[in-house]
């Protein structure tokens, strides 16, 4: 029975992820989009222009233009965030990893003047606080909310069906939001972005649970593709 890829990322990232997995897998499978988080920009402004930006998500990077912060250097958690920052007119530097790599990259280049971290209401790691505690002044500004969303009726049917469902999960909060809407009778195969995500995803009692080799989009695409290929070969 053909597996289903259930994508829980917000648009347009969810569609891009599904397309990348389809290219890598090269075999037919069904795709369902059911974002568990909706991105809602906040009506905020920047009182004083910083010397550089800190970005831990593409959603934060997407706010650069409307906040009139184009033209600034931007320290980005990974390549996808850096690409989005460049599109918004920033000069991006990618740490190529997670928040730990980002903090290390910035501290290796201090002093950098006053930094501003553009982030969502739900953010892990206290990046601004840790930078400031290590001698690099950084303020945080919440520029968007992440509103919880319910699974679509199509997604619920897929999670109760006989066909296996491959579910990539990118954050502990997303995993928790999905688990809160269970239990599900179907055969779930979870691809977790990190150990922290896997810990929350274990509440889903999945048929399989695998963790990406690094907390990056490319690693998630590769591992999700391998999981689909395995199910398609069975």
Task: Verify that 175 and 190 share a domain, yes or no.
Answer: yes
- Residues 164-191 pLDDT 10s: 999 999 999 999 999 999 999 999 999 9
Residue 215 predicted with pLDDT over 90: no
Tell which of 130, 146, 162 closes a domain.
146
Nearest Cα residue to 75 out of 60, 59, 56, 50:
56
Number of Cβ within 10 Å of residue 160's Cβ equals 11
Average pLDDT over residues 124-132: 93
H or E element, residue 201: helix 195-201
- Across the chain, what does the average pLDDT equal? 95
- Residues 5-35 pLDDT 10s: 999 999 888 999 999 999 999 999 999 999 9
Task: Verify that 189 and 101 share a domain, yes or no.
Answer: no
Residue 82 predicted with pLDDT over 90: yes
Residue 214 predicted with pLDDT over 90: no
Task: Verify that 112 and 50 share a domain, yes or no.
Answer: yes
| Cα 70 off chain centre by | 23
| Burial of 5 from C-beta contacts in 10 A (0-12 / 13-18 / 19+) | buried
Domain of 202?
Answer: 4-36+150-233
Domain CATH code at residue 60 = 3.40.50.10090
Q: What is the pTM of this model?
A: 0.85
pLDDT given for residue 1 in this prediction: 79
Number of domains in the chain: 2
Task: Verify that 25 and 68 share a domain, yes or no.
Answer: no
User: Per the structure block, which two tokens stand in for 229?
Assistant: 């290929």
pLDDT given for residue 90 in this prediction: 98
pLDDT given for residue 123 in this prediction: 87
Task: Verify that 108 and 47 share a domain, yes or no.
Answer: yes
pLDDT band at 80 (very low <50, low <70, confident <90, very high): confident
Task: Verify that 48 and 141 share a domain, yes or no.
Answer: yes
Tell which of 93, 114, 146 closes a domain.
146
């Amino acid at each position: 029975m053909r597996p289903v890829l259930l994508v829980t990322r917000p648009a347009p990232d969810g569609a891009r992820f599904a397309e990348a997995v389809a290219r890598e897998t090269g075999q037919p499978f069904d795709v369902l989009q059911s974002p568990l988080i909706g991105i809602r920009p906040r009506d905020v402004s920047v009182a004083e222009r910083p010397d550089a930006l800190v970005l831990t998500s593409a959603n934060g990077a997407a706010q650069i233009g409307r906040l009139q912060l184009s033209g600034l250097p931007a320290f980005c958690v990974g390549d996808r965030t850096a690409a989005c920052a460049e599109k918004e007119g920033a000069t991006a530097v990618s740490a190529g990893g997670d928040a730990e790599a980002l903090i290390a990259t910035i501290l290796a280049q201090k002093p950098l003047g006053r930094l501003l971290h553009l982030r969502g209401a739900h953010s892990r790691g206290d990046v601004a606080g840790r930078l400031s505690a290590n001698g690099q002044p950084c303020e945080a500004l919440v520029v968007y909310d992440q509103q919880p969303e319910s699974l679509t009726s199509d997604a619920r049917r897929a999670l109760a069906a006989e066909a296996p469902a491959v579910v990539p999960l990118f954050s502990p909060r997303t995993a928790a939001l999905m688990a809160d809407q269970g239990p599900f009778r179907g055969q779930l195969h979870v691809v977790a972005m990190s150990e922290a995500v896997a810990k929350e995803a274990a509440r889903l009692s999945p048929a399989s649970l695998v963790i990406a080799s690094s907390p990056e989009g490319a690693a998630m695409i590769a591992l999700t593709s391998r999981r689909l290929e395995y199910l398609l070969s069975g």
